[in-house]
Structure 1
């Protein structure tokens, strides 16, 4: 029997702009590609809090305060405002498209296939860098904990990526970071329910530790530490906001769980808004307490800063030891949730044919994407072990801001193209909040340095090359006819 001729692919423009309609995200694609719906509002909110509270508080102050001075409090409020506006947009879109993939899936439904590919590239870089950077920061706190509690000084070579320090010490590999990431990967392979129970315990512990810090630091509050409130002016405040903003990737992390949530159209909006509210309150209180207890000039380059502040205030070792332990627990949960989010984005991409479909295969026993999780864990662990990541925080921020802008635009687009589609939440005030989200996030983006923009543009070019060479030819939407660059909604996807 002669081979059937293959249908011609759509033109390049049609491929770039074709969209996956929201109703198509609910199309069953086979039991092998289904995740288990087992999470409720509380566990989902803990995902967001677990991903955000950690990097932002335990060691980002040492980079943000030198840029803004005491006005870093305003930086936190600006970042918090952008995150709140974005959270409202996420809440509406997630209630419309409650699937894995978060902003990648939302861009696919609203802006088209290449926009989805670009968004996925940003998200994967964002999650990968933030997870590896968090693991590197965790090593510093772990080393301090060993030294304080056990009087054991871990060797420099085993705590740092290859390179030579100013003092002549040689780094070889960040071994604790590798161990942390492998433990997180093992948990995720075992199952999402077990992973989220561990995450919830860690989140509650670290919030308790931060509450202890706030109480102790406020007892030594000095208002004169705020006398020179904004030494770098508005430029410093904007730069501080940009440095802080990468920690709000947790807002996106909640939406990556859309396919593993019970009653997602109601649960996702609630969890997103709860997570952002709790995070902003803790961020601002910790920043105020820390600046009230220590002069802002001393934050520059201060490792394990919050622990050092408590030791200086009390003259005793135990408060700092408790805080270091809290940081170790906290950053563990950050890495766990960030790895989780990255695997779910790749799961959605694998199901759409944008990467190998092996990424969408799940274990019949644990209902988790095992191949996907193992590969992501190994790659991120290698990054944490051997590459200096200090300069990549701003790159993560620009990816997060880009994601937030895409979600706001998705709200506006879906309100026009999918007016009658089901949803569990609608932002009040018409288009005001989505437009404000774009404006505020855009303001924070332009505060980033030109080098960050150049690297970001280069990364998008890499995404474009990958799309042209592989993704467009393997897309599941190739099975559909196209009209005006959009997939016909009455067609069905065959995976």
Structure 2
């Protein structure tokens, strides 16, 4: 359970067992399109509104700046690992090679939960944006309410269930064809974002940043809480790293795809935050189409082989999205995401500073060392949490 795998073993053993290599058909622009397509609409259309309403207020753009800095640093860690170990496992493989199988499988479970919940968040918001495009103020009017279920789980959304299942079947057909479809939709999405940016500069107002309760109505805590949640908007580069065995020249293409997708998304996001409410119909129509892109990218970041895994995760996504409200899921998704990013960053530090100068047997101490530090930090914060005073009214 604590045994570590060497990079060569990770690269070759599973490949020999399955008896075939994945076809290397993807180029750098496919990776950038997959990353950008997965991050753009999630950040602007899904998370911005609830974060601005409940946490950051007008300072939501500051939350995005903090989140993108964190995402860029984490993306650099993924880039270095993906060049050293260009396999389809992503963070799972990086951690299994560094800390052993237990940490690898623990991170892998969190990654699967992250992808499923991100699919649920994006899919659940599809109905809301589609209603906005048709001028319907209450999206629940398109859902079936079951009075016997708990609040937050009693509004069934059969429309998005059908969309999730259709996209799942599309992904089962071929990775290349799925990436072409995603590329076309991402191009449309970028054009639509350009329209929103132009409308923002023409009709936006600086007064929206300070009225009615100031720039930071909930203080710095609200800004940081918002940053922790919108960090989920930048998980697209995580899915890019899992395509390592399906691209040409991974040492060159992967860094361009990962860093390019992270650097491209904040420009569009920051430029769109000033869009006035007069454009709700237009933004609703564009968001509905763009959310299909995010669903495609999020599912593509999961297991593509074998087909049974894709079908299983697609069915899990459809089952959860049928019942669960958006506000419930959006609070859960960032927990697993930040944990995996933290583990990958620790693994890179460990490999660079300790593993290269230690023997294999001594390297086994890495797991209890970093695990002990992690538990100590979490215990400290849990102990201090009740001691924090409530903010004054």
> Where on the TM-score scale, by shorter chain, does this alignment land: which range?
0.7 to 0.9
Q: Which residue, out of 174, 178, 197, partners 1:195?
A: 178
Equivalent in the alignment of 2:247: 261
Greater percentage in helix: 2
TM-score of the two chains, using structure 1 as the length reference: 0.67
Equivalent in the alignment of 1:179: 162
Q: CA deviation at 1:395?
A: 2.1
CA distance in 2, matches of 1:42, 1:399: 28
Q: Does 1:230 pair with 2:216?
A: yes
**CA shift in 2, pair 1:186/1:85, >3 Å:** same
Larger Rg: 1
Q: Does 1:104 pair with 2:92?
A: yes
- In the alignment, structure 2 segments of 5+ residues that lack a partner are 358-376, 386-393
**CA shift in 2, pair 1:397/1:153, >3 Å:** closer
Q: Which residue, out of 31, 46, 54, partners 2:33?
A: 46
Q: Does 1:408 pair with 2:313?
A: no
Q: Does 1:57 pair with 2:8?
A: no
Alignment of 1:33-432 (within 5 A): 34-66=21-53, 67-145=55-133, 147-148=134-135, 156=140, 158-159=142-143, 162=146, 173-227=156-210, 228-287=214-273, 289-290=274-275, 293=276, 309-311=277-279, 320-344=280-304, 368-416=305-353
Q: CA deviation at 1:40?
A: 0.8
CA distance in 2, matches of 1:160, 1:33: 46
Cα pair 1:126 1:395 within 8 Å, conserved: no
Q: CA RMSD in A?
A: 2.9
CA distance in 2, matches of 1:178, 1:101: 28
CA distance in 1, matches of 2:252, 2:77: 14
Equivalent in the alignment of 1:430: none
CA distance in 2, matches of 1:266, 1:256: 15
Cα pair 2:200 2:271 within 8 Å, conserved: no
1:244 is paired with a residue whose SS is helix
Q: CA deviation at 1:128?
A: 0.5
**CA shift in 2, pair 1:214/1:120, >3 Å:** same
TM-score of the two chains, using structure 2 as the length reference: 0.83
1:229 is paired with a residue whose SS is coil
1:218 is paired with a residue whose SS is helix
Deviations 1:343-365 (A, max 9, x none): 25xxxxxxxxxxxxxxxxxxxxx
Cα pair 1:343 1:372 within 8 Å, conserved: yes
Q: State the number of aligned residues.
A: 356
